[in-house]
Chain A
Amino acid sequence: MKIGYAVPAGLLAASLLFAGCAGKDNSNNDGNNGNSGNNSGNNAAAQAGSGTESVAKAGGETNADFTTAIDEYRKYVIEQCDAFVKQTEGFTDAVKAGKLDEAKTLYAPARMHYERIEPIAEALGDLDPNIDARENDVDAADWRGFHKIEQALWQNNTTEGMTDVADRLLKDAQLLRAKVETAGIDANLLVTGAVELLNEVSSSKVTGEEERYSHTDLYDFVANVEGAQKIYELLKPELAKKDPALEQTIGERFTALTNELAPFKSGEGYVSYETLKPEEVRRLSQNLDALAEPLSNMGTILGV
């Protein structure tokens, strides 16, 4: 989570407003039948300046049906939320019981479920700052959630004074779970959300700022990427129809990034971000940008 979510969150919020009352019955609430998306922006430069490229098939309809993708995604969000609540409970129990090591072990894996669906949480009012704000993201008096406990566990090496914070965190997690049930999800949110997940990585995980005490940034990194990949998988059939080259490029770059991340696996989890060399961080960042660029053109399936 970071402060700079104002615009995308606003977008998402707008789509929530738009689609919220429709509930699950939002079979055709995506793009408005404009011109069909014509090319992948990824290779659009190839057509630059020549003036000979086939411009958008004017008037082409975009009657893509995203019902299945949206239903599947809601299922995924709920699954992740269920796991998130359950594992957060394990974590907060450990904190409250003063089990420092156990709490440290449970911290990052619990957060991964949240990081996979972060754009949804960000669209749901104050939940994201309450759960995921870092120090200085919010006024000191309002600071709560995971990172406050993270600071206690790793920097102060204690669980002391964290009982209330732990209780509120669990309540916030449960509230999130309750709210996602009815959250409006439309194709636009999927497309925007996938890019947003990678932007999260780009702006805070890559720099090691997200988990500044625990250095478990790679867990979040992987989870954000997995969340984006899930959306891509769900939109893949439609994308393959619209722009097979783009669909293939995105797939290849997910694979490339996953391969880059593989060496940093350690047991069930990931190595401390502190152990990464500067050039390794840069490679991860470059592979992420290489993926996010074509991914940002998935909007082509929404029509224009």
Chain B
Amino acid sequence: MNKKDKNSRNKADADHGIPVPETKLFNTKFSRRDMLRLTGASGLGLLLGGGGVGGIMAARQAAGRAVPAAAASGQNEEQADTIPFYGKHQAGILTPAQNFLCFASFDVTTTKVSDLKKLLEDWTAAAAALTSGTMIGTANDKPNLPPTDTGEADGLTPSGCTLTFGAGPALFDSRFGLSGKRPASFTELPAFPGDSLEPQWCGGDLCVQACADDMQVAFHAIRNLARIARGTAVLRWTQEGFQRSGSADPSGGTPRNLLGFKDGTGNPDVTDETQMRNIVWSGSADGPAWMNGGTYLAVRRVRFRIEVWDRSSLSDQEATFGRHRQSGAPIGAGDEFAELNLAAADASGKPVIPPDSHSALAHGDGSVKILRRSYSYSSGMDLKTGQLDAGLVFISFQKDLMKQFVSIQQRLAKNDRLNEYMVHTGSAVFACFPGVREGGYIGELLLEG
């Protein structure tokens, strides 16, 4: 029933999940919004030349990402909507952040490594289907059986769906004989000052980060992966996230977090392969072979004290971030992407950008970088206080958690002015496997390498 046969096409251009080479851009793999975001954020436009960008824009505008799925019948639209699952690296890392996130952490309940392997194989097959907008399984039209695909994404485009899988430090205990394979610096995070972690938002043996430009598509992915896991792994926690959508911000500017400030301005350039090698990807010299081409994910559920923030003055808010709210520019500058000049002082010798502001502390001396890929969350209200339970699903990717995320977070946790307005309620880290080749499965090298 209504099975979309897009496999062959997807496989054809599934060489990797990194949308780097410019030829890819011309293959309409990028939305207009992504294009603008990338060109704006990284100066890629220079590489392409003005005419090239204009041409792409025109083409993409014609293709129209905003066209409803049902109306998008041509291959180009669907292709633009599909991010290859197979490749050298997993997708959903360098992929420009889609509109929606559905993050799930799992506990493995089986004690048999063969069951774990089967789960990862089944997840791989399902993920290939989910990211290409194909129905899962073969029993979708048999009256006597529950359909293998739960169906709510039937007829929808892939919507840029990416599924990113990782293993938590807990997986490397004695259960599966993997303790010898744990990368040396891959442990649970140390406690940070001010943490107020709740166990129901922490940890996990496995994670799946589902991102898509449609919430129903992202949810459908997590729901079906959790269903397939039944009997082998159980959900430990899930968190949905969102950001302003592409249609709400056609200019593709840096998204704002729920405190009203632009978030992600200082992110490294995902199209710069050298930077990505230095910041994100674990290389052959960096650790175990099974992580070669993988990366480490840190996820923090950060609740904003929205009500408190809302009654602080604009100048306090800006001093807290070290940036202007409207433009996103560093205090004292006019351009969002202006360099963060931490040495600048006013007439009285006081730093223009407070040294304990969020930007200043996060930047440090600029030598340590991470790739942030955060989303906002809203989880209803806190019944105890009547306040909103909303904030940030902070997600970052880095090749070494201790040297990168931990060193930055230690600075922030100690002194960040922003701490007054937020509290970290959840935390987990995962080793995100390298990409999967067709015929292989997620984590294959970990289990069999």
Contact = CB atoms under 8 A, between A and B. Distances in A.
A297 B171 CA distance: 30
Interface string B103-134: 00000010000000010011101101100101
B138 A44 contact: yes
B334 interface: no
Contacts of A31: 144
Given A39-B139, A43-B122, A286-B109, A49 B148 contact: no
Contact of B128 (A35, A49, A55, A289): A49
Contacts of B142: 35, 37, 56, 299, 304
B31 to A, nearest CB: 24
Given A249-B231, A289-B230, A47 B138 contact: yes
Interface in A264-303: 286, 289-291, 293-294, 296-297, 299-300, 302-303
Contacts of B148: 41, 44-45, 48
B85 to A, nearest CB: 9
Interface in B139-160: 139, 142-146, 148
Central interface residue in A188, A291, A304, by most chain B CB within 10 Å: A304
Question: What interface size band does chain B fall in?
Answer: 20 to 34
B145 A45 contact: no
B127 to A, nearest CB: 9
Given A294-B231, A297-B146, A48 B129 contact: yes
Contacts of B126: 45, 48-49
A128 B121 CA distance: 44
B398 to A, nearest CB: 31
A27 to B, nearest CB: 19
Interface in A9-59: 31, 34-35, 37-39, 41, 43-51, 53, 55-56
Interface in B220-274: 224, 227-228, 230-232, 234
A188 B137 CA distance: 23
A119 to B, nearest CB: 17
A52 to B, nearest CB: 10
A51 B7 CA distance: 9
Contacts of B128: 48-50
Contact of B129 (A35, A49, A191, A300): A49
Interface string B1-23: 00001010000000000000000
A129 to B, nearest CB: 27
A168 interface: no
A298 B118 CA distance: 21
B304 to A, nearest CB: 28
Contact of A41 (B118, B139, B231, B232): B139
Contacts of A56: 138, 142
A290 B144 contact: no
B122 A41 contact: no
A253 interface: yes
A51 B109 CA distance: 30
A49 B125 contact: yes
Central interface residue in A38, A45, A303, by most chain B CB within 10 Å: A45
Contacts of A253: 231
B234 A38 contact: no
Contacts of A191: 144
Central interface residue in B109, B122, B136, B137, by most chain A CB within 10 Å: B137
B231 A300 contact: no
A299 B231 contact: no
Contacts of B135: 48
Contacts of B228: 45
B231 A55 contact: no
Interface string A240-281: 000000000100010000000000000000000000000000
B138 A38 contact: yes
Contact of B134 (A49, A289, A290, A294): A49
B145 A297 contact: yes
A295 to B, nearest CB: 10
Given A38-B138, A48-B126, A49-B134, A286 B234 contact: yes
Given A44-B136, A45-B228, A249-B231, A37 B125 contact: no
B132 to A, nearest CB: 7
A37 B122 contact: no
Nearest to B10: A49
Nearest to A249: B231
Contact of B125 (A50, A188, A297): A50
A260 to B, nearest CB: 11
A300 B136 contact: no
A45 B137 contact: yes
Contacts of A302: 144
Nearest to B132: A49
A288 B137 CA distance: 23
A302 B143 CA distance: 10
Contacts of B227: 293
A41 B139 CA distance: 7
Contact of A300 (B137, B145, B230, B232): B145
A37 B129 contact: no
B137 A48 contact: yes
A304 B231 contact: no
Nearest to A299: B144
Central interface residue in B129, B135, B232, by most chain A CB within 10 Å: B129
Nearest to A195: B146
B139 A43 contact: no
Given A47-B125, A286-B234, A53 B146 contact: no
B403 to A, nearest CB: 36
Nearest to A50: B125
Contacts of A50: 7, 125, 128
Interface of B: 5, 7, 109, 118, 121-123, 125-126, 128-129, 132, 134-139, 142-146, 148, 224, 227-228, 230-232, 234
25 contacts: A31-B144, A41-B139, A41-B148, A44-B138, A44-B139, A45-B122, A45-B136, A45-B137, A45-B224, A47-B125, A47-B137, A48-B125, A48-B134, A50-B128, A188-B144, A191-B144, A249-B231, A286-B109, A290-B230, A290-B232, A297-B146, A299-B142, A300-B144, A300-B145, A304-B143
Closest 9 CB pairs of A and B: A44-B137, A299-B144, A49-B129, A290-B231, A44-B148, A45-B122, A48-B125, A45-B126, A302-B144
Given A49-B126, A50-B125, A300-B145, 7 more contacts: A37-B144, A38-B139, A48-B138, A55-B138, A249-B231, A286-B234, A290-B234
